[in-house]
Structure 1
Amino acid sequence: MATTDDFRTAVSLEELRERGRAQVSVDGTPLALFHHEGEVRAVDNRCPHMGFPLSEGTVDDGVLTCHWHHARFELACGDTFDPWADDVQTYPVEVRGGEVYVDPDPERERPPAEHWESRLETGLEENLGLVLAKATIGLLEAGVDYREPTATILDFGTDYREGGWGSGLTILGCLANAIDDLAPEDRKRALYTAARRVAADCAGEPPNFDQPSLSTREVPFDRLKRWFRDCVEVRDADGAERCLRTAVAADRSESELAELVFAAATDHPYLSTGHVLDFANTAFESLEHAGPEHADDAIAALVEPLVTADRSDERSSWRRPVDLVVLLEDVYGGDVAATEGLEALVAEGEGSSWSVPEGFRETLLADDPEAIVDALADAVREGATSEALASEVVHAAATRIAQFGTANEFSDWNTVHHTFTYANAVHGASRRTDAVELYRGVFDAAISVYLDRFLNTPPAPIPEPGANDTGRDPEGVLEDLLETFDVEGEVDEAGRLVGEFLDCGGDPGELKRTLGHALLREDAGFHAIQNFEAAVRQFDLADGHPDGEHTGRVDRESRRRTPMIATARYMAAHFPTRREAEQTFTIAARLNRGEAIHEG
């Protein structure tokens, strides 16, 4: 083609006027040219919605309509009338000597990152899955750090959901936590999954209207903590929110903010089957990715789940046949919201260094709630920190999933799952603050482990370290593991393959990436995403776990592998799904690469 400055010849004006339209490629750019109302217009021939050739569309009254999904575009500027379609790129044209010239590489009005950030906001507002997929892929491919869209999604989720923190924002936090353990392409899937789940949570919901902080910044911390707990206790959302926002406005430390929230979240045991404390822990973790400047709205979003929570001390399972609440109250010092008894135990253990005694882990999984409570109380008395105890309890909870009997009702997978993610959240919270109230979370989690005991009857075997060293290539084992998720019911095989992979010297990073890919290609539910993130977290933390004097390398290896076996079994029980979201993601990825979706 002839070249004149930045313009290239495209088609003769006479031919274009006669036909009304032309499809051409200029320097590799597919273009649709139109002669309409005496003007020549050029647009990208690929409909920005799903790539249908716009040269096959209709132009009427200055509007170009795609025939595939009827997206409409203002022909002169390319702007769409339909937010789900995106604007189409237009190109400068000139008529010279009877020929139409086009500049195939005009200066863009704004850089790709800015464009995709705008599209992310539109996708969230309109709950448009394909737009969100394109935007999240486009942002990461433009070199934008995942933290920036994470912050955008977090702000949207807290602003546009009156119900406060929910499953969508928890998914956002979980996947942000796990993003470094994912393959690069799966990081895009993770961000897309988080965006679509937050958008779905907010769709059709009333927006949130903030309560202001108190005018004073001089309220002593202990008093503010009492006020906040009292408001939560009587389910006063407005008062509780003002207390929390006052704490943020007064520049209270992260540890103090955590103490406020986790104290209220443990004033009753196991609120809403553990979701409330898990939401709270994930909110603080999300701020590590989005930045502390988002703390005000993120933490305030926890109020609604707190004040509307179901309280396990009001449930029969915690009262009959053994009154488990009374057992806890005896330790706490009067009622489920007390801490005097715990404070006395902590004082006794001051200066002592606790190590895991022989039989302790077996006690946590046994059938005697009094022995469990006594063992935990003795540990506190001997100097055990809430973090050390939470580590033991979360391992017991992971064991329940790893040994879950498939003869149980399918819904009971979530019974053991809730205990695991609650215990994981307590563990995470204990690493954020040393508030004495976190001991209550440990005791509550241990009681939930006890209540789940019948779901391990009979217990599924956990492959012992070294028992499955088949000498196979670890990559081949991972291929087999991925295939198990294509078949329903391969629960035990999935667990066995994880054990085999580790025994054959496989790289744990590759295991995480494989499980992460298996998760994100599915229409994975909220719980599956939680479960994966918690398992990866516990796997990583096990490396630094101090063993008791009577334990050794095999025990530590067991602590690493148990959560990974547990999550592989949980995922195998819930997969495969229809993979509708993966279809949308694949379409978006192909469109962003410029591939043709429409064949014809």
Structure 2
Amino acid sequence: MLITAILKGIDTKRLSEMMLIAATDHFYLDGGHVFDFHSKAFEVLVWANVSQKERILTSLVPMMARPTRSEELHQWQAPLNLVEPIKQAVNELEQNAAQAQPIGGSTDAQLSDDTEEQLLQQLLSDTPEQTIALLRDLLIAGTAPAQLAKLVALAAAERIVRFHTQNDFGDWIAVLHTFTYAHAVHERLLQSDEPLLQRAIFHGAVSVYLDRFLNVPTAARPKPSGSAAPTNHQELLDLLDLRQQVGPAAQWVMDYIHGGGEPGALLNTLGHALLREDAEFHSFQMYEAAVAEYDRWQTAAGSFAEKAKETMLLACTRYLAAHAPTARELPHTAKIAWRLHKGERLFEGE
């Protein structure tokens, strides 16, 4: 029915809200994949040819069929019950809205740098009940939901910056999933004032909390070394030719940023580093989300915004460095395919 409606030209924005409301009826479905994939699918619909829309939408059906509901998982219920505080906060928001008091996107209330820093530290704290209460109070006070979602995404990126390489390698995926989910929530709330989507802010915040063990021990955030700022981007690419260069790559980026390096050129280099690898889907997710969040912070001024942009660059660099180098077979395969497409002969007979 949904697919038929879209193909008949029904308002895509409202339909996306309906689907994402369904994706937030339960908590953090399938580790955030359901919301994230639906959000991306509706982004793609804006650009896709009509002939591709049915294909895009039908790809979402299996995800809604039997997803894992995080509120049923042990870590969301014990040793702290994180489900009930969220439900209570959402109920209070609904009651507040029913009384026609300011809520969510009804105002353009902006947070000060001090308040943003306070919320960021609270999101990274060991007191999730206080985090939920603070988010609820800020929403009731009229803070734009997208602004809160932006800070949840920043906290998730900070988890990646603090991720220690002593953790199991597979745990990079855990902090990645929280970040890409939080980014998807941020993007959706920038486009929608649907109150029910605000539930996803709480789900993302709790996922940030649950990732705290992956910051024990905490990887130290690099500091500017004070040496001459690097200018040759090949140095960074050379680092990513070697294994276990997460720390050195992050240090290179920190010195580059504080040495006045051009962020756009750095993002291009990181994009080049991504494309030369046999990168899997998650690495592309990481790059796309980090670049998008960096761009969102570009519109803000002040020291907090500068540090937020720095966080996005460091998170992206550390993740890509951890997953490099690979066998790099895909670029070779692509070159062969391109030569065949042009009709070239790959091998000449003797």
| Inter-partner Cα distance in structure 1 for 2:334 and 2:277 | 11
Cα deviation, 1:477-498, whole Å, max 9, x if unaligned, reads: x212111221111111111112
In proportion to residue count, which structure has more helix?
2
SS in 1 for 2:169: coil
SS in 2 for 1:452: helix
* Equivalent of residue 258 in structure 1, options 2, 7, 16: 16
| Inter-partner Cα distance in structure 2 for 1:345 and 1:470 | 59
* Equivalent of residue 75 in structure 2, options 306, 317, 332: 317
Task: Give, as a single letter, the amino acid of the residue that structure 1 aligns with 2:44.
Answer: S
Aligned to 1:398: 157
Aligned to 1:16: none
State the 1:309 CA deviation.
1.1
Do 1:468 and 1:503's aligned partners in 2 also have CA atoms closer than 8 Å? no
| Inter-partner Cα distance in structure 2 for 1:292 and 1:593 | 29
| Inter-partner Cα distance in structure 2 for 1:345 and 1:354 | 23
| Inter-partner Cα distance in structure 2 for 1:353 and 1:533 | 28
Aligned to 1:584: 333
State the 1:412 CA deviation.
1.0
Task: Give, as a single letter, the amino acid of the residue that structure 1 aligns with 2:229.
Answer: R
1:537 and 2:289 aligned: no
Task: Give, as a single letter, the amino acid of the residue that structure 1 aligns with 2:94.
Answer: E
| Inter-partner Cα distance in structure 2 for 1:536 and 1:447 | 24
| Inter-partner Cα distance in structure 2 for 1:375 and 1:595 | 63
State the 1:294 CA deviation.
4.4
Query: Which one has more relative contact order, counting CA pairs under 8 Å at least 6 apart?
Result: 2
SS in 2 for 1:411: helix
1:497 and 2:252 aligned: yes
Q: How does 1:180-191 map to 2 (within 5 A)?
A: none
State the 1:313 CA deviation.
0.8
Aligned to 1:363: 122
SS in 2 for 1:377: helix
Cα deviation, 1:219-267, whole Å, max 9, x if unaligned, reads: xxxxxxxxxxxxxxxxxxxxxxx2x135425643232112111100111
Aligned to 2:59: 301
SS in 1 for 2:63: helix
Do 1:402 and 1:462's aligned partners in 2 also have CA atoms closer than 8 Å? yes
State the 1:578 CA deviation.
1.2
- TM-score (structure 1 length as normaliser): 0.54
| Inter-partner Cα distance in structure 1 for 2:151 and 2:51 | 34
Deviates more, 1:485-494 or 1:290-299: 290-299
1:527 and 2:289 aligned: no
Cα deviation, 1:131-177, whole Å, max 9, x if unaligned, reads: xxxxxxxxxxxxxxxxxxxxxxxxxxxxxxxxxxxxxxxxxxxxxxx
Aligned to 1:461: 220
Aligned to 1:513: 268
Gaps of 5+ in 2: none
Q: How does 1:134-533 map to 2 (within 5 A)?
A: 242=1, 244-248=2-6, 251-291=9-49, 294-333=52-91, 340-341=94-95, 343=97, 347-349=101-103, 350-351=106-107, 353-356=109-112, 357=115, 359-463=118-222, 467-468=224-225, 470-474=227-231, 476=232, 478-533=233-288
Cα deviation, 1:23-82, whole Å, max 9, x if unaligned, reads: xxxxxxxxxxxxxxxxxxxxxxxxxxxxxxxxxxxxxxxxxxxxxxxxxxxxxxxxxxxx
State the 1:416 CA deviation.
0.5
Aligned to 1:146: none
| Inter-partner Cα distance in structure 2 for 1:340 and 1:247 | 29
Do 2:277 and 2:325's aligned partners in 1 also have CA atoms closer than 8 Å? yes
State the 1:471 CA deviation.
3.0
Do 2:230 and 2:252's aligned partners in 1 also have CA atoms closer than 8 Å? no
Task: Give, as a single letter, the amino acid of the residue that structure 1 aligns with 2:88.
Answer: D
Task: Give, as a single letter, the amino acid of the residue that structure 1 aligns with 2:87.
Answer: E
State the 1:596 CA deviation.
6.0
| Inter-partner Cα distance in structure 2 for 1:541 and 1:292 | 30
Change (3 A) 1:473 1:347: same
Change (3 A) 1:285 1:352: closer
State the 1:457 CA deviation.
1.5
Query: What is the root-mean-square deviation in Å for CA atoms of aligned residues?
Result: 2.3
Do 1:346 and 1:381's aligned partners in 2 also have CA atoms closer than 8 Å? no
Aligned to 2:347: 598
Count of paired positions: 344
Do 1:542 and 1:559's aligned partners in 2 also have CA atoms closer than 8 Å? yes
Do 2:123 and 2:152's aligned partners in 1 also have CA atoms closer than 8 Å? yes
Task: Give, as a single letter, the amino acid of the residue that structure 1 aligns with 2:332.
Answer: Q
> Which entry has the higher C-alpha Rg, 1 or 2?
1
Task: Give, as a single letter, the amino acid of the residue that structure 2 aligns with 1:578.
Answer: A
State the 1:341 CA deviation.
4.6
SS in 2 for 1:384: coil
Change (3 A) 1:589 1:291: closer
| Inter-partner Cα distance in structure 1 for 2:99 and 2:182 | 21
| Inter-partner Cα distance in structure 2 for 1:345 and 1:580 | 60
| Inter-partner Cα distance in structure 1 for 2:213 and 2:264 | 34
1:561 and 2:310 aligned: yes
SS in 2 for 1:333: helix
State the 1:299 CA deviation.
3.0
| Inter-partner Cα distance in structure 2 for 1:275 and 1:589 | 33
Cα deviation, 1:72-118, whole Å, max 9, x if unaligned, reads: xxxxxxxxxxxxxxxxxxxxxxxxxxxxxxxxxxxxxxxxxxxxxxx
- TM-score (structure 2 length as normaliser): 0.90
In proportion to residue count, which structure has more strand?
1
State the 1:584 CA deviation.
0.7
| Inter-partner Cα distance in structure 2 for 1:504 and 1:361 | 26
| Inter-partner Cα distance in structure 1 for 2:292 and 2:99 | 29
| Inter-partner Cα distance in structure 1 for 2:37 and 2:286 | 14
Using the aligned pairs only, state the percent identity: 39
